[in-house]
A and B are shown apart, each in its own frame.
Chain A
């Protein structure tokens, strides 16, 4: 076994991109690669959540971290590497931010990245994940985001949803199994 493409979701003006099958004990590691992700609305954030009931509800409790590096095209503002307390969760059940302040001002603005989800079907331990993303931010510039955490549940995670904090999205998300 190796790295197997399981599902490709292509979204066009869609409210969310949901993966509701094939997340099970077949693989120890699932990787979601997202490309050309673009919001319909300026300055929204791209996010994800897990489900323990096949996608009926996306409200699993999680504790997370988020830090970013950002640099504007005009070399102005604050070039920074900073922890973002507004982007993390402490036993929250909201969708977890992966990219903040996304740009939509130009037709060429988008986000890419990878989310790693470890052994989601385990029923003994919490379920860990981490994501590295790169996007064109709303104050034109580059932003590299690092998000990680755990679903604080011993129930299996069997569905994952991606969406914007507001309005619809375009983009392609591919789910791979590794192992």
Chain B
């Protein structure tokens, strides 16, 4: 990993979403860096079993509804229960996308107990490229709603050669708490 530079920290407190928009509130999310890293800590949903997710806006949809960029992705995870259950590692067809414009899940079935949370890192590469698709991958660990530890891996590409400069994070249901730090990696 290269040297990360902290660009912006956003804190959610019963928030519907958090967005990083290039050029707004000191956010840099353009060609300055070839790689951007989002570090998530203490992400807690208000709704039990919610999915934490992201989507982007391309520069030709600035200020848009985070609903037009097409993603093809993979998702798999490993889990183990505090008591009972069968631990395993498995591909998750319900959390991948095939040329779809939905929010991409990066942590699913998050628990909402008082001490339950999600933590992880999302890497997004060359968002300003106008030649290539935009690749990403993430790794999370979290306390899932059924009282188990879930390590979840997601990767894919935003199938768009238009630059992207806005990204939003939210739960698929309800609000959330937590901290998201944006780093540029030289």
Contact = CB atoms under 8 A, between A and B. Distances in A.
Given A65-B80, A119-B41, A150-B141, A128 B115 contact: no
Q: Is the interface of B mostly helix, strand, loop or mixed?
A: strand
Contacts of A89: 80
Interface residues of B, number: 38
B137 interface: no
Interface string B1-20: 10111100100000000000
B157 to A, nearest CB: 22
A35 interface: no
B24 to A, nearest CB: 21
Interface in A145-179: 146, 148-150, 152, 154, 178-179
Nearest to B44: A125
Contact of B4 (A2, A63, A125): A2
B149 A149 contact: yes
Interface string B111-122: 000111111110
A107 interface: no
A149 B80 CA distance: 9
Nearest to A62: B149
Given A2-B4, A63-B148, A154-B115, A146 B78 contact: yes
B34 interface: no
A128 B118 contact: yes
Nearest to B114: A124
B131 interface: no
B22 to A, nearest CB: 20
A85 B85 CA distance: 12
Nearest to A88: B80
Interface of B: 1, 3-6, 9, 39, 41-42, 44, 78-83, 87-89, 114-121, 139, 141-143, 148-151, 179, 181, 183
